[in-house]
Structure 1
Amino acid sequence: MPSARAVDVRSTRIDARGMDRDLRILVVEPDPERVLGIINALTDAGWSDVKALARISGLNRTVKEFVPDIVLIDLTNPDRDTLEHISDATESSKRPVALFVDHTDEDLTQAALNAGVSAYVVDGLKMERIKSVLETAIARFKVMRQMQSELDAAKQALEDRKTIDRAKGILMRQRDMSEDEAYSLLRKTAMDQNRKVIDVAQALVTAADLLS
């Protein structure tokens, strides 16, 4: 199968500015003639670092070896096994996936989105649409990644607040302090030890759990 030059995969090719010209693209397509057509269309759009894969079953392994920035999958009728392969490949790598299908239904569409597909295009892959579809997939991927990052940060902030509240409660009981005094002690200890308040609070909670 055709593949193009190797590049430094440590560089960031999907950034806040949008689509970089140096994207590494993995194409999953069983038909050799369509593979050539897709690669030519990608080259015309400005992307030449492309690798082709004939079988979806090899997706996870190839993703780990090739480390693409985006995966383009062209299949006539995807099934649950296909979506499972996609989910496995995107779960650890967190990269956009554009899936082109000829036919679908509501359940399969939702399952594809749940599997990590960034762009789900019905009515097959049209060569003239590759550029716009990949741009859409990357844009949606960035939005979803930002939303997930914000959600993770909010969850962590909530957990940190619970830990700090527990640490304050321990100090209030052990030293007969007010809540404000307990927090001031946590903050002073953190400053004296050049640590974060949450780290001091976690250490205190852990110690209290061990002694309980």
Structure 2
Amino acid sequence: MVNSKTGKAATPPLKVLLVDEEPGRAAILERALLDAGYVLVSRLSSADRLVEHVAVSQPDIVIVDIDSPDRDCLENMAVLSRSNPKPVIMFSDEDNEETIASAIKAGVSAYVADGMNPDRVRPIVQVAVARFREFQALKNELQKTRDQLADRKLIDKAKGLLMK
């Protein structure tokens, strides 16, 4: 598919997995996502089996709308971040620094502490995806540098043995 205005290949809409424990709020967020041009691939009422649902539905982004993220929710985010990294947006009413820091450490790309505003969904998703991609690029560069350093140490060790 080609965009008629730019002449470039059109990117397919992002696929979203939505986690929201409150059906009314989930419906509002779902409507905002659809209005913004995203495709909802799955909607869960809790993050209990998030990792399995992400593996099956293969979303491009995960959005969690929760009153207050508990330890289990954050642990599920951390497992997801390690096993199948995706941009994760968390909307929450909880605004204390410790909770926000724990969420970011668990792999949340964007933590929105003042709840969900349907008009802000699109820019929040765009920023979260951009930050996630940048973070992944940095992680990849760090791993590449570590591998090069390990190779260099091995070569230096081999040189030392040859010189003896």
TM-score w.r.t. the length of structure 2 is 0.89
CA distance in 1, matches of 2:24, 2:86: 26
**Is 1:130 aligned with 2:121?**
yes
- 2:81 corresponding residue in structure 1: 90
Give the counterpart of 1:101 among 86, 89, 92.
Answer: 92
- 1:48 corresponding residue in structure 2: 39
Task: Kindly indicate whether structure 1 or structure 2 has the higher relative contact order, using CA contacts under 8 Å at least 6 residues apart.
Answer: 2
- 1:115 corresponding residue in structure 2: 106
Q: In the comparison of the two structures, how many residue pairs are matched?
A: 155
Structure 1, unaligned runs of 5 or more: 1-18, 174-212
CA distance in 2, matches of 1:172, 1:61: 54
Shift of 1:24: 1.2
CA distance in 1, matches of 2:77, 2:29: 20
**Is 1:149 aligned with 2:140?**
yes
Give the counterpart of 1:38 among 9, 18, 29.
Answer: 29
CA distance in 2, matches of 1:44, 1:55: 24
Shift of 1:161: 0.3
CA distance in 1, matches of 2:24, 2:102: 29
Shift of 1:73: 0.3
If each structure's helix is expressed as a fraction of its own residues, which one has the higher value?
Answer: 1
The structure whose Rg is larger is 1
CA distance in 2, matches of 1:81, 1:157: 37
Shift of 1:33: 2.2
The sequence identity of aligned pairs, in percent, is 38
Where do 4+ consecutive residues of structure 1 move more than 3 Å? none
- 2:4 corresponding residue in structure 1: none
TM-score w.r.t. the length of structure 1 is 0.69
SS in 1 for 2:41: strand
- Deviation per residue, 1:4-51 (Å, 9 max, x gap): xxxxxxxxxxxxxxx944211100012222222222111111112431
CA distance in 2, matches of 1:67, 1:90: 14
Alignment of 1:42-81 (within 5 A): 42-81=33-72
Structure 2, unaligned runs of 5 or more: 1-9
Partner amino acid for 1:35?
A: A
